[in-house]
A and B are shown apart, each in its own frame.
Chain A
Amino acid sequence: MNEDKRHIVSLLVENEFGSLSRIAGLFSARGYNIHCLSVAPTSDDSISRMTLVTYCTDAKSSQLMKQLDKLVDVINVKDLTDETHIEREMLLLKVKSTLKQRDELKRLTDIFRARIIDVTDTTYTIELTGPTEKILAFIDSLGKIKIVEQVRSGALGISRGSESLEIKK
């Protein structure tokens, strides 16, 4: 209860000028961290869907939910952490690939069901989607292979089953 734990939060917000800074501002003003954040419009382009991950106690997260809900631009908000949900993150990774390492890289991408999406004579660029743990495990497995550049989308979350984050009228 009093220990920080990972919370993954889903939000529907008005796709308006300043919405994002209101949310980001709330985190800094109230002393929360944003571990990662992703935003994109939904099928209704006046609404954006956000997923963010923060580390805090359960008590602080319930206060955070209320504070987010209080923002005028927030249409709906939900902490997905304690319900069954699916998380995906995308990784774009550029690695050095010497001739010797190419086989090893190919093998690892296959094991993790990643894809090599760009090749030069010195680098491979690999795409991988999956839960955050899988992304981390993949990066870990590279061992001595040198990472040139690493881009992660941050987690996206959606609840399982027929549940959805609705637009309350």
Chain B
Amino acid sequence: MKLSGSEIIIESLKKEGVDYIFGYPGGAVLHIYDALFAAKDIKHVLVRHEQGATHAADGYARACNKPGVVLVTSGPGITNCVTGIATAHMDSIPMIVISGQVSRQYVGSDAFQEADATGITRPICKHNFLINDRESIADTFRKAFIIATTGRPGPVIIDIPKDLTDPNVKIDFEYKKNIKIRSYKIKTNEDENKIEEAAKILCSAKKPMIYSGGGVILSKASKELIKLTKLLNYPITNTLMGLGAYPSSDDQFLGMLGMHGTYEANMAMHDCDVLLAVGARFDDRVTGDTKQFCPKAKIIHIDIDPSSISKIIEVDHSLIGDTKKILRKLTSFSSKYKKNINRTAIEKWWKKIKSWQRKNCLSYKKSKEVIKPQSVIETLHTLSKGKSFVTSDVGQHQMWVAQYYKFDKPNRWINSGGLGTMGFGLPAAIGAQLAYPKEQVICVTGEASILMCIQELSTCLQYGLPIKIINLNNRYMGMVRQWQEFFYEGRYAMSYMDAIPNFAKLAESFGHIGMVIDKPENLENDLKTALNHKNRLVFVDVITDQTENVYPMIVSGKGHHEMHLAPSANEDIELA
């Protein structure tokens, strides 16, 4: 079969099972768009800004664990993708970004719309390619998909000069599935003895703790994690990225840990004697002061990425490899050593944890006058029965979703944890909704964040995406305001969102339904109305308490046991 470079690209994507491309056309990719025009099996989603394309592909990948695919033009097309690529990279999300490049004869001449795409993206992706000859297009695509989806996943950029996509030059096409990449190796150490040793350590614990992260979701190991945790009857906490991997409604779940984690999760981290870290990378928002991190614990770390081991926290026992496989083996060894578990010690440990839980650290002052942001999330949770896919932007609203929308399943919670990218929520919801057209997708955002990618409302109309946008409108960059209140004596420099648009009207002008909720007594009913619009996007502008803060909070550089609690938390609970 003889194909042009453009046709080879499309055929390669088909071979990889790609069903959606998120993109935006331009000179350098017009040949590719022309080939795409003829392709039936791949649907192209036209975004309104290339950043939106990357976040949408990312949201798609996070929702369904398949790589998201982006197609953009050279120069401004690829530079607009930088934030989205970095966002995916920080959270290890598989993504393929195809960028057009000026024709080979012009590369390096500062040609129109020329930008050094591989140079710009090098530090923010797992790998990138600049294709130099037609013959290597197919192999490069196969390699890119292998690299993006295996090991610790991540974004891969393929930069392709326009002349290589010329429809008039055709070459033989063959897609080699089993291509070898000599220098790409996934280092594993799934040595049975080491896993058995880990099981012994786990079963010798008196105050055990399990801490799991996004790696569990990426390796689809949620079931295995639940099985092990249930077998041992140990407490478990999830990172922001790991929420949903273990059901929040389960009794053994202590909530999220870290900067805005629960009192019980953080205290248990501080006090535990054996810590099992699974697919988590000891991020600074999780560890707080590393010198005070889990000071008494022997740490076992399971991760696919050897460079995550002992990067931040020196660990005692590492198991490198696929989380799913290792958890399975660890569970079977643990059943063998389960008899060694000191049940009285564990019971005592649970008693202590229960006493921490009585602090009721997520309690907040209810109000009849202003809408409390926490209550919006709680109501959303009730109305959607905790089953929705929820994306968010970055700020207080993001933390409140993490705390109050009790996720019971993996892949439902979609947020930018690593890079913390405002503007992520709406386009990510587009990706999630396309991955699951029948599921309810909710984007919880803030009045500052939503404006960063608001143009994607237009994309939502074009593809009939019935996303529900819940804008927690506190007229502040709330998270910035909170830090200024705590650390800058209330000097609110530039954190007030002046000249805020009328969001409901804005949404209407984009062809959607706009709503405002500003009274606590209307919250439940109006939210219900919004969620009941099955086929329309509804933008719900919820006017919330301007002064609410996110609690608990560990100030950067402090230990887990040094939390600020909400004024409403039970101060006088006696601790065991």
> Residues on A close to B: CB < 8 A?
13-14, 17-18, 21-22, 25, 29, 59, 62-63, 66-67, 69-70, 72-75, 167-169
A69 near B127: Cβ-Cβ < 8 Å: no
**Contact A17:B182 (CB < 8 A) given known A22-B122, A69-B306:** no
In the complex with contacts A63-B311, A67-B307, A69-B306, A74-B183 CB distance below 8 A: yes
Mark interface residues in B551-564 (1 if CB within 8 Å of A CB, else 0). Answer: 00000000000000
Q: Say yes or no: A75-B122 contact (C-beta < 8 A), given A63-B307, A66-B306.
A: no
Docked CA distance A22–B123 (Å): 8
Q: Is B512 an interface residue (CB 8 A)?
A: no
Given contacts A17-B130, A18-B130, A63-B307, contact A73 B183 (CB under 8 A): yes
Q: Is the CB of A29 within 8 A of B307?
A: no
Q: How far is the CB of B313 from chain A (nearest CB, A)?
A: 12
Cβ < 8 Å to A, chain B residues 119-140: 119, 122-123, 126-128, 130, 132
User: Is residue B184 contacting chain A, with contact meaning CB distance below 8 A?
Assistant: yes
Given contacts A66-B307, A69-B306, A72-B126, contact A21 B182 (CB under 8 A): no
Q: Give CA–CA (A18, B157) in the complex, Å.
A: 13
Residue of A18, A74, A168 near B118 (CB, 8 A) is A18
Docked CA distance A59–B315 (Å): 12
Chain A residues in 8 Å Cβ range of B128? 18
Of all A-B residue pairs in the complex, the 6 with the closest CB atoms, nearest first, are A66-B307, A75-B183, A72-B127, A66-B306, A29-B123, A72-B184
Which chain B positions have C-beta within 8 A of A69?
187, 306-307
Question: When the two chains form their complex, are residues B182 and A169 in contact, meaning their CB atoms are under 8 A apart?
Answer: yes
22 of the cross-chain contacts (CB-CB < 8 Å) are A13-B183, A14-B182, A14-B183, A17-B118, A17-B130, A18-B122, A21-B122, A22-B122, A25-B123, A59-B310, A62-B310, A66-B306, A69-B187, A69-B306, A69-B307, A70-B306, A70-B307, A72-B147, A72-B181, A74-B183, A167-B182, A169-B180
Q: Using Cβ atoms and an 8 Å threshold, which residues of chain A touch B130?
A: 17-18
Q: Which residue of A lies closest to B123 (CB)?
A: A29
Residues of chain A within 8 A of B306, CB atoms compared: 66, 69-70
In the assembled complex, how far is the CB of residue B144 from the closest CB belonging to chain A, in whole angstroms?
10
In the complex, what's the smallest C-beta–C-beta distance from B319 to chain A, in angstroms?
Answer: 15
B305 CB contacts on chain A under 8 angstroms: 70
Chain A residues with Cβ below 8 Å from B309 are 66
Residues on B with beta carbons closer than 8 Å to the beta carbon of A63: 307, 310-311
Give the one of A63, A70, A74 with max B CB within 10 A. A70
A17 to B187, CA, bound (A): 25
Query: Closest residue of chain A to B124, judged by CB?
Result: A29
Residues on the B chain within 8 Å of A13, using CB:
183
Which residues of B does A touch, CB under 8 Å? 118-119, 122-123, 126-128, 130, 132, 147, 180-185, 187, 305-307, 309-311, 314
Q: Are B183 and A17 in contact (CB under 8 A)?
A: no
Query: Could you tell me the distance between the alpha carbons of A6 and B310 in the complex, rounded to whole angstroms?
Result: 21
Cα distance A22–B180 when bound, in Å?
A: 21
* Chain A positions within 8 Å of B182 at CB level: 14, 75, 167, 169
Contacts of B126 in A (CB 8 A): 72
Instruction: Beyond the given A17-B118, A67-B307, A74-B183, please list 20 additional residue pairs across the A-B interface where CB-CB is below 8 A.
Output: A14-B183, A18-B122, A21-B119, A25-B122, A25-B123, A29-B123, A62-B310, A63-B310, A63-B311, A69-B187, A69-B306, A70-B305, A70-B306, A72-B127, A72-B181, A72-B183, A72-B184, A75-B182, A75-B183, A167-B182
Residue of A at shortest CB range from B187?
Answer: A69
Looking across the interface, which residue of chain B has its beta carbon closest to that of A72? Answer: B127
Q: Tell me the complex Cα distance, A75–B181, Å.
A: 10
**Known contacts A18-B122, A22-B122, A72-B126; is-contact A168 B311 (Cβ 8 Å):** no
Interfacial chain B residues near A73, Cβ < 8 Å: 183
B517: min CB distance to chain A, Å: 45
**In the bound complex, what is the Cα–Cα distance between A17 and B185 (angstroms)?**
20
Which of A17, A59, A67, A70 is in CB contact (< 8 Å) with B132? A17
Residue of A nearest to B183 (CB): A75
Which residues of B are found within 8 Å of A22, using beta-carbon distances?
A: 122
Given A63-B311, A66-B306, do A168 and B122 touch, yes or no (CB 8 Å)?
Answer: no
Instruction: Report A-chain residues with C-beta under 8 Å of the C-beta of B122.
Output: 18, 21-22, 25
Compute how far the CA of A17 lies from the CA of B311 in the bound complex, rounded to whole angstroms: 29
A71 to B280, CA, bound (A): 20
**Residue from A59, A66, A67 whose CB has the most chain B CB atoms within 10 Å:** A66
Q: Nearest residue in A to B311 (C-beta to C-beta)?
A: A63
Chain B residues, Cβ within 8 Å of A66? 306-307, 309
Q: What is the chain B residue whose CB lies nearest that of A73?
A: B183
Chain A residues whose C-beta falls within 8 Å of the C-beta of B127 in the assembled complex: 72
Q: Chain B: which residue is nearest A70 at the CB level?
A: B307
Query: What separation, in Å, do the CA atoms of A139 and B286 have in the docked complex?
Result: 51
Question: From residue A45, how far is it (CB to closest CB) to chain B in Å?
Answer: 14
Residues of chain B within 8 A of A14, CB atoms compared: 182-183
CB distance from A77 to the nearest CB of B (A): 10
Contacts of A72 in B (CB 8 A): 126-127, 147, 181, 183-184
B157 CB to closest chain A CB (Å) equals 11
**A29 CA / B182 CA spacing, docked (Å):** 25
CB-CB < 8 A to B310: which residues of A? Answer: 59, 62-63
Cα–Cα, bound, A69→B307 (Å): 9
Tell me the nearest residue of chain A to B143, going by C-beta: A72
Q: How far is the CB of B308 from chain A (nearest CB, A)?
A: 9
Instruction: Collect the chain A residues with CB atoms within 8 Å of residue B118's CB.
Output: 17-18
Q: Within the complex, what minimum Cβ distance (angstroms) separates A60 from chain B?
A: 10
- What are the residues of chain A within 8 A of B147 when measuring CB–CB? 72
Q: In the complex, what distance in Å separates the CA atom of A106 from the CA atom of B311?
A: 52
Which residue on A lies nearest to B180, using beta carbons? A169
Report B263 CB to chain A, min CB distance, Å: 32
Which residues of the other chain, B, contact A62 by a CB distance below 8 angstroms? Answer: 310
Q: Report how far A22 CA is from B128 CA in the complex, Å.
A: 10
**Residues in chain B near residue A17, CB distance under 8 A:** 118, 130, 132
The smallest beta-carbon distance between A47 and chain B, in angstroms, is 9
CA distance A75 to B184 in the complex (A): 7
Whole-angstrom distance from the CB of B141 to the nearest CB of chain A? 15
How distant is the Cα of A22 from the Cα of B125 in the complex, in angstroms? 11
B119: chain A residues at CB < 8 Å are 18, 21
Q: Are B132 and A168 in contact (CB under 8 A)?
A: no
Shortest distance from the beta carbon of A49 to any chain B beta carbon, whole Å: 13
In the complex, what distance in Å separates the CA atom of A59 from the CA atom of B307?
A: 12
| Residues of chain B with a CB closer than 8 A to A25's CB | 122-123
